[in-house]
Amino acid sequence: MLTPLFSAAMDPQRGERELQLLLTPTTITPLDGATLHAPRPPASSPSDQPQLDLSLSISIGPPTTAQAAEAAGAAADHHQQSKKVAAADVEALKRQTAEQARMASAERAYAERVMELARRELELAEREFARARAIWERARGEVEKVERVKAMAARRIAAGSAAAALEITCHACMQRFHP
């Protein structure tokens, strides 16, 4: 088991303080019950396990010129990367907008075509209605004319048959000629 060990160092030229985290091996204490009962893995040679660099450092104070240059380079790289991403986003947005505009114009053309067809159908229906009304008016005039002719024929029969009706003796037969 490893325990952390902190050491503080001071750089007199820059006025910086540096904290380092060092890991050192510790011994197993009887208070740690989990480690007492846990079986230990078989010992292996140091060449079987990779060597890890576990030293950490924290600086307090202004960054050094090398650190500032590295940070500026990373910031520039990040800025370039974000510019590329933004440019890609803008291009994607432009393509999407163009596609939406194309779809809108296609829908508008379709709507105009449908409105034109509806207008033509309405005009055709109005003409058909006018034609049907004219036919109905003619038919009504014909029916009125036939009614007038029928009425005149009935009067003629009644007037002309008055003399003939006198010859008929049956009252029921005379009713057929006089409505």
Instruction: Note the pLDDT tens digit of each residue in 87-121.
Output: 999 999 999 999 999 999 999 999 999 999 999 99
Residues written for the chain: 179
Q: Are 7 and 21 in contact (CB under 8 A)?
A: no
- Taking residues 15-26, report their average pLDDT: 56
pLDDT in tens, 52-70: 666 666 666 565 666 666 7
For residue 22, give the H/E element and its range.
Answer: strand 16-25
pLDDT range class, residue 176, cuts 50, 70, 90: low
Looking at per-residue confidence, does 54 or 17 come out higher? 54
Asked if 5 and 12 count as a contact pair (C-beta separation under 8 A), the reply is no
In order of 44, 135, 141, 175, the CA distances from 147 in angstroms are: 127, 18, 10, 21
DSSP state of 46: T
What's the whole-number mean pLDDT along residues 166-170? 58
pLDDT at 24: 56
Question: String of b and e for 93-107 (b: at least 16 CB within 10 Å)?
Answer: eeeeeeeeeeeeeee
Residue 35: CB partners within 8 Å, gap ≥ 6? 1, 28
